[in-house]
Amino acid sequence: MAPRAIHEAAGRVRGVVLTRQREGRALLKLERFDEARETLESAHLAAASAGEERLAAQSLTNLGQVHLAQGRHQAAVSPLLAAIATLTRLGAARPESRARVALADVYAAQEREELERALALVSGDDPAARDIWARLG
């Protein structure tokens, strides 16, 4: 019997949520984004319904990371901000830090996209533009 099924049969919501989170992160690493998102949304809903605020917030952090990996930066911001607010209120420093790092990654990716769009409007002969492109790698 699979771990999630064992926890479900025993009525252990926390175990179900933790298993779904692990599954969601594994699916993210495999770049199976839709499945990862569905699994993490399910984990969030189960945790929130059971009053497991910390686990619900951690599911939101993972969900934000899925959106980031898909390049859906705007969609990543809301779950990450919600996770940070909850984790800050709960005094959960380590998971809060993880959510803040994910949010910083989102903002950095957004800035890079905006810079690339702006540089695309500049002539390729512009030495300053070439310098910036070189630094971007």
Q: What's the pLDDT band for 4 if we cut at 50, 70, 90?
A: low
- 118 lies in some domain: no
Whichever domain contains 76, its CATH number is 1.25.40.10
**Domain extent for 11:** 3-110
Query: What is the count of structural domains for the chain?
Result: 1
Position 82 scores a pLDDT of 98
Tokens of 126: 């512009």
- 128 lies in some domain: no
Q: What angle do CA 99, 68, 108 make, to 5 degrees?
A: 75
Tell whether pTM > 0.85.
no
Position 54 scores a pLDDT of 97
* Residues 48/86, Cβ–Cβ less than 8 Å: no
- 72 lies in some domain: yes
- 137 lies in some domain: no
**Tens of pLDDT, residues 48-90:** 999 999 999 999 999 999 999 999 999 999 999 999 999 999 9
